[in-house]
Amino acid sequence: MVPKLDSRDALALSYKILKYAEARGLRPYLDKRASEYIDWYPTFNLGSDLVDVIVTIGGDGTILRTLHTLGDIVIPVITIRYGKRGFLADVPPHDYAIAIDRLIEGRYSLHEYMRLSAIIETPTKPPYALNEVAVVTSPRFRGKVSRLRVLREARAGVIEKVVSVVGDGVIVSTPVGSTAYSLAAGGPIADPLMNIIIVTPLAPISLCSRPVVLPEDSKVVIEVERGSHEVELFVDGVAITRLEPGESLSVVKAPKPAKIIRFFTEEYFSRVFERCL
């Protein structure tokens, strides 16, 4: 059980779910970081202790940070919605008992979602991105534009320019992330179970800089041009490092997907466009 730590309601719901899971014959563990807020034993260390299933209680941020902490460990995740943004979470808070019952009965589907890996020299390896890898203008130069070249290295080693971006940056997203930052920047909406890479320029000043969809085996290379200001690398909204003019990074399909357990029919596009009705 991995609850959103700064939400008293999510913590209270977590305790209810722990008690219900135990009553149904399961062996529930609480994320050790939450033990100071919830009186429960046993606990586990997220990212090092192996468990069969992880249940997140919170919004999209809770899900993303949980996956980041897991790193290369792939554990199926149940997503219970309790936050301001819960697009990735499909279980309403009042349906937690239904989810637990269906888990025990095997009445669920396991969805595998493609992630991205940012390859760059940093002291610590960047986490895999479920939503996007974004290279954006540094806050120190917010009034200035960045100058980036986006290249594609194909399987045969052929390198071609995809797009030049003079603007606020570029977003490289997964299909799941197509409805997140990339969508806000004018990128296309993709079915989340597809395996593609979406490149979306961020506030470009050129009409020629348009979103591009690439096959999953592409290596996307982002170069910071010599005449640019420094930029910053973000993975799912988490700041990773700065890149100076002349530096570059690569983005490829991550070797391991995220596995999410779904209990209900996912009306994906209905959820995407529900606010337009």
Which are the catalytic amino acids? 60
Cα(37)–Cα(72) distance, integer angstroms: 28
Cα(166)–Cα(98) distance, integer angstroms: 50
- In degrees and rounded to multiples of 5, residue 200 shows phi and psi of -125, 115
Identify the CA nearest to 259 among candidates 24, 94, 88: 88
The residue type of 212 is V
User: Residue 258 class from Cβ within 10 Å (0-12 exposed, 13-18 middle, 19+ buried)?
Assistant: buried
Per-residue DSSP letter, 10: H
- H helical segments located in the chain: 8-23, 60-70, 96-105, 181-184, 268-273
CA distances from 132 to 35, 65, 128 (A): 31, 13, 9
Contact 219, 98 (CB under 8 A): no
The contacts of residue 24 (CB under 8 Å, 6+ apart) are 100, 101, 104
The contacts of residue 275 (CB under 8 Å, 6+ apart) are none
Q: How far apart are the first and last CA of the chain?
A: 35
Cα(245)–Cα(228) distance, integer angstroms: 6
